[in-house]
Amino acid sequence: MSHERQGATPARWGADLQTSLFAKGRAGRRATTMPAWRGDDVDTALPAGALRAAPADLPSLSEPEVLRHYTLLSNLNHHIERGLYPLGSCTMKYNPRLNEKVAALSGFASLHPEQDEADLQGLLCALKLLQDALCEITGFAACSLQPAAGAHGEYLGMQVIRARHLDRGENGRTEVLIPDSAHGTNPASVVLTGMKPRTLKSGPDGRLDLDALRAAVGPQTAGIMITNPNTLGLFESDIVEVARIVHAAGGLLYMDGANLNAILGKAKPALMGFDVVHLNLHKTFSTPHGGGGPGAGPICVTQELARFLPAPVIREDAGVYRLDACAGECRPSVHAYMGNTGVCLRALTYILRLGGDGLTRVSERAVLNANYLRKRLEGLLTVEHAEGTLHEFIATGADWKEKFGVRTLDIAKRMLDYGIHAPTIYFPLIVDEAIMVEPTETESKETLDRFVDVVAAIRAEAERDPDLLRTAPHTTPVSRLDEAAAARRPDLSWLGPCNCG
Amino acid sequence: MPYTPHTAEDIREMLDVLGLATVDDLFRSLPAAVRPPAGLDLPSSLSEEEVWRVMSNLAALNAGQDELASFLGGGVYDAAIPAAVDAVVSRSEFLTAYTPYQPEVSQGTLQVIYEWQTFVTRLTGLPVANASMYDGSTALVEGVRMALGRTGRDAVVLPAALNPRHRRVLETNLASEGVTILTAPIGAAGTTDPAALRALLDGRAGAVVIQNPNHLGLIEPVDALAAAARDAGALVVASVNPVSLSLLKTPAEYGAAVATGEAQPFGVPCGWGGPLLGFLSCSDELKRLIPGRVVGRTVDHDGREGYVLTLQTREQHIRREKATSNICSNQGLNMARGTVYLALLGTEGLRELGAANRVRCEALRAILRGIDGVQLPFAGPVFNEFVVRLPRPAREFRAFAREQGILAGIPLDGFAGCGAGDLLVAVTERRTADEIERYGSALRDFLEQ
Amino acid sequence: MVASDRKYTKDHEWVLAEGESATVGVTEYAAHELGDVVFLELPEVGTVVAQGEAVGTIETVKSVEDLFSPVGGEVIAVNEAVLDAPETVNQDPLEAGWLFKVRIEDRSEMDELLSADDYDALIGG
């Protein structure tokens, strides 16, 4: 290996981008060593035809080099412990460290999924406690912890609804109604269970249109998927009537629980008339997002639907817990085991810490924070459907586009320069230039006030120097990236130094 | 109240700005009928110390693989986790970040994903990989969907010796999509019979699943199976234990179009089976059918190298009802675990990991061969897992061994022609020579009692 | 003013008839509105398509649109060059950025398409 002299240049702290791991290290270096084998020699040869031609080519680094590489990479990330993360619909609340400490306990983390119940009594008790708590929060009778994410919960929920109709011989119920403000996963989940989505247009106030609903239901209706409060942050106040209409037509109601953080202790999905709900433990119940997962998307259902949930089912008898395989029943399965148990334990820890009183206050403060922020932004950003918003609200950058020629994307990118993560943008699709803000309950009034100051400052910049926004961000490790080039000629794994420039 | 900063003054001032008297005024849009009259019937808030006591007491009621010598496998394995893995993923920068939708402030997460994709391609030999899936079972479902989407066919062949938990998830998913499931039988050797597979392929099947090693631990005749699939115009979807790829032929080498599997042994705790780490990789021809997140390398406005989520038009938030998958997350933090783990191993470490599994597995097999009445019913080569046939019910031995601190294996009764005496035994690098000796002694004692 | 040598569709495609062959592409207006084109799926040569049938897709970073065949007939050529360099569609949509050619079966189908003036009016030109 030749050693070319590479010029060294000073760089601003944090501004030096990372060399690829695959360009680092040197053959012969190592971090991990295997425990020595202290037993007899045995023949471990495998037939040549079963073997790979060459060892997998991985970089060779020492442990300090690996730690330094990932520590430097970590410095390039925004995260909750660094600053405000007001992503609408994502509920980026503080992730308590206690959750992590609990989930890492060897008594939980080292359990194998094929162990006997006798070795799992504490775990099964914990999971039953969580199921019971989620049922109390939602008002339902039964809970499955198997779905590994919200979209996975939607999928299982649709399977449950489909199974119930088939069980009653109602094979023709294959249409699922979905409001046009819904998350993209909703229609995708419906299609994958062999049913058909049908879009329902929202009314002028951003809520469900009852007349459109009445016209849409029929003998083909399997159900309806509703996010409540919806993606505009509005409670579907006609929900009881919606449920009456759908049930009268023979359909079932599915609630996307993405926005449950608005209504803990204030409203229960079962009382609204829903039959199934999924919860996002990584949103409402404070488990970390981990840069994209793992989360958990348990579903809760009515007593009638309990028998369509995955097996095994945790049962308790006089303080002894067992796993009932439900032999002879035909139940769905969407995960090799019982789902993201480690995430469930974090959520239980959070629920125990907050208690019933604390959970109710979570929603009160989340809604107070969002409303305070919405009110304070008046005059800076136009808020759509402002009346009655709960934990989040939708602003629009449409008037900035008109007045200053900057788009929502530009506003979002400029926020990054102020150390704030941008809100969700261009969603929901029904609002032009949407900016969706959800501050969550864990942010202080001072932080919200600063957000308002930042928006005011950016607005002044837009007026004075719109190019500053159009070319933002300016202080981040990289500037805007060429997404078109990335998609045209995908470079998806490291084959050598970048030739993408 | 825990985790929120609001003082009474804060709340008063905020309500004043809103012109409201009480916080409950904010909930006026909720009709009375949906509101629980008495709030939530849950215990009151506890202090951190109290919660810690409750949860650590519950943990103490369990007995896991840190205190018991585990020979359990079947897809999840008791593998060693270097401390450096925990150190990296407990950093808030990785732990509490969201999906990298704003790439300018997410280069850390994005580069880790790109590194994971690279590691997966180097293990499987296939050129494209995604940012991970929920687990090995759902990765396999998506792999089958890709192959059926590509071939436009509506049947899949599953091997009889497929992980039964994966098979259940496939059945749930594929049945409602109208896909026909055919089963390729195993021969006397315990591996899929290539001639029987050929006979089954009638032009309807678009995908043939090969699990290697199979659920009996045996190395499959991958070349013959893949050739049969190829001749019938079906694509091979491999499901592999990635630890075995330290030594075994790669899916690319036998012509698989998609390779999937469960990468939990790469630095992820068993955690009673979740969260896990599914991986998925594919050939270049299939790259625009790959589900989930994919990261690509590009340049920024100033010509600096950087990373972005790419090929996003495949995803549900754009295609909605036309999407072929509804996944909108990955196993981010567990994927980071896998990435750091492989960075720590390197080429040499991975090879040694394979060797460490092999020697322990063969050492136990040698001991078991020497016990009267005990059989190793299949003669073919294995990686780190195998079937042992006992003259008495395996469940009874499992209970007996547990009394001696040993998790002896997974009873296979009823699976792929196995009987009550058959036990699936896995041996990882964590098992010591002493524990392996004790396994043999326990079995001798059990048979003599 | 849009090019007057060809016909148009309300899906913002252009059709240029030369003998029995019709060349199809997207309009300048469409290329601008779509933004950076990153990927195309085009029909295979030899496929017989009906007028108005969806025959492929055009993708940008964050959208996917269907491509339709403005006239029926057999696909006799596709532009391999734009598959390798999709940016051509943005740079030169009317010439180098053409997408596919169809052998016209029924001449009368050409008459159903929009004239340059009609299309100009459609896009408010």
**Segment among A11-20, A340-349, C46-55, C88-97 with least mean pLDDT:** A11-20
> Does B214 contact chain A (CB < 8 Å)?
no
B367 vs chain A: nearest CA distance in angstroms? 10
B380 CB near a chain A CB, below 8 Å? no
* Domain boundaries A97-354, corresponding CATH code: 3.40.640.10
Give residue B221's pLDDT: 98
Confidence of residue A499 (pLDDT cuts 50, 70, 90): low
Least confident of A276-285, B75-84, B313-322: B313-322
Least confident of A211-225, A237-251, A423-437: A423-437
Q: How confident is the model at residue A500 (pLDDT cuts 50, 70, 90)?
A: low
Which of these three, B322, B341, B360, is where a domain ends? B341
Region A188-197: mean pLDDT is 93
Which of B315, B341, B367 is at the close of a domain? B341
Percent of chain A having pLDDT more than 70?
96
**Would you say residue B246 lies in a domain?**
yes
B245 and B357 housed in the same domain? no
**Could C61 and B288 be called an inter-chain contact, meaning their C-beta atoms sit closer than 8 Å?**
no
Which domain-ending residue is among B341, B358, B385? B341
* Tens of pLDDT, residues A95-144: 999 999 999 999 999 999 999 999 999 999 999 999 999 999 999 999 99
Tokens of A353: 């810490």
Judge whether C2 lies within some domain.
no
CATH for C79: 2.40.50.100
Residue A280 has pLDDT above 90, yes or no: yes
Residues B360 and B231 reside in one and the same domain? no
DSSP A270: H
Min Cα distance A486 → chain C (Å) is 9
Per-residue confidence band for B216, with pLDDT thresholds at 50, 70 and 90 = very high
User: What residues make up the domain containing B387?
Assistant: 69-79+347-448
The residue written with tokens 């053959």 in the block is: A27
**Residue A19's pLDDT band (boundaries 50, 70, 90)?**
confident
pLDDT score at A40: 92
From the CA of C3, how many Å to the nearest CA of chain B? 31
Question: Does the pLDDT of residue A1 top 60, yes or no?
Answer: no
pLDDT higher than 70, residue A17 = no
B281-328: pLDDT as tens digits: 999 999 999 999 999 999 999 999 999 999 887 776 767 677 778 888
The overall average pLDDT reported for chain A is 94
Domain count within chain C:
1
In a domain, C84, yes or no: yes
Q: Which DSSP helix (H) or strand (E) runs through A109?
A: helix A106-109
Q: Who wins on pLDDT, C34 or A296?
A: A296
The answer to whether residues B436 and B400 belong to one domain is yes
Summary mean pLDDT of chain B: 96
pLDDT at A108: 98
Distance (Å) from the alpha carbon of A168 to chain B's nearest alpha carbon:
17
Residues 177-196 on B with a CB inside 8 Å of A are 177-178
pLDDT digits (tens, 9 = 90+) for B145-171: 999 999 999 999 999 999 999 999 999
Residue C4: is it exposed, middle or buried by C-beta count within 10 angstroms (0-12/13-18/19+)? exposed
Residues 6 or more apart from A465 whose CB is under 8 A from it? none
pLDDT tens by residue, B331-346: 999 999 999 999 999 9
pLDDT exceeds cutoff 50 at A2: no
List chain A residues with CB under 8 Å of B26.
364, 367-368, 371, 390
Residues B106 and B135 in one domain: yes
Is C87 at the interface with chain A, CB within 8 A?
yes
Best of C59, C61, C82 to mutate (most A CBs within 10 Å, chain A)? C61
pLDDT in tens, B128-138: 999 999 999 99
A77 neighbourhood in chain B, CB within 8 Å: 93-94, 97, 105-109
> With 0-12 CB in 10 A as exposed, 13-18 as middle and 19+ as buried, what is C78?
buried
Tell me which chain C residues have a C-beta less than 8 angstroms from the C-beta of B290. Answer: none
Higher-pLDDT residue of A374 and A204 is A374
Please check the confidence at residue B87 and state whether its pLDDT lies above 80.
yes
- For residue B28, tell me if it sits in a domain: no
Q: How far apart are CA B152 and CA A242, in angstroms?
A: 40
pLDDT along chain C (125 residues), means of 10: 90 94 95 91 94 92 89 96 94 96 94 93 83
Q: Is A335 left (phi over 0), alpha (psi -120 to 50) or beta?
A: beta
HEC sequence for A180-209:
CCCCCHHHHHHHHCCCEEEEECECCCCCEC
Q: Does C116 touch chain A (CB under 8 A)?
A: no
Whole-Å CA distances, B240 to A41, A244, B211: 28, 49, 6
Give the pLDDT mean for A465-469.
98
Pair B215, B249 in one domain: yes
Structural domain boundaries enclosing C38:
7-122
User: Per-residue pLDDT for B46 more than 90?
Assistant: yes
> The tokens 């059918």 sit on which residue?
B289
Is the pLDDT at B362 greater than 80? The verdict is yes
Helices (H) and strands (E) in chain B, counts: 13, 14
| H or E element in which residue C54 lies | strand C54-60
pLDDT at residue A16 in the model: 56
Cα nearest neighbour of A446 on chain B: B10
The span from the CA of C60 to the CA of C75, in Å, is 24
Contacts of residue B342 in chain A, CB cutoff 8 Å? Answer: 58
DSSP codes joined into one string, C21-49: EEEEEE-HHHHHHH-SEEEEE-PPTT-EE
- Alpha helix (H) residue ranges in C35-98: 80-84, 87-91
Give residue C2's pLDDT.
86
What confidence score (pLDDT) does residue A53 get? 97
- C39 CB neighbours in chain B (<8 A) are 288, 313
Residue positions counted in chain B: 449
Interface of B with A in 143-172 (CB under 8 A): 163, 165-166, 168-169, 171-172
Tell me the DSSP string of B155-213: EEEEETTS-HHHHHHHHHHHHHTT-EEEEEPB-TTSSB-HHHHHHH--S-EEEEEEEES
Nearest CA in chain C to B288: C39
The whole-angstrom separation of Cα B252 and Cα B259 is: 8
Share of chain B above pLDDT 90, in %: 94
Average pLDDT over residues B89-96: 98
What is the residue type of A405? G
Same domain, B313 and B236: yes
Residue in B153, B233, B159 with CA at minimum distance from that of residue B196: B159
φ, ψ dihedrals at A355, nearest 5°? 70, 175
Beta-bridge partners for A276: A254, A301
Same domain, B375 and B332: no
How many domains, chain B?
A: 2
Domain boundaries, chain A: 97-354, 356-485
| Inside any domain, residue B7 | no
Cis preceding-peptide flag for B221 (omega within 30 of 0): no
Q: How far is Cα C43 from Cα C55, in angstroms, rounded to an integer?
A: 6
Q: Give yes or no: residues B136 and B188 share one domain.
A: yes
Pick the CATH number of A356-485 from 3.40.190.10, 3.10.560.10, 3.40.1280.10, 3.90.1150.10: 3.90.1150.10
Could you tell me the CATH number of the domain that includes residue B313? 3.40.640.10
d(CA A276, CA A251): 12
Model pLDDT, residue C50: 95
For chain A, say whether C95 makes contact (Cβ under 8 Å). no
Residue B407: which CATH number?
3.90.1150.10
What pLDDT is attached to residue C63? 84
Distance from CA of C112 to the nearest CA of B (A): 30
Whether pLDDT at B56 is above 70: yes
> What is the distance between the alpha carbons of residues B243 and C71, in angstroms, rounded to a whole number?
55
pLDDT tens digits, residue range C29-44?
999 988 999 999 999 9
Please give, rounded to a whole number of angstroms, the shortest distance from the CA of A80 to a CA of chain B: 6
Same domain, B282 and B244: yes
Q: Which residue of chain A is at minimal alpha-carbon distance from B107?
A: A76
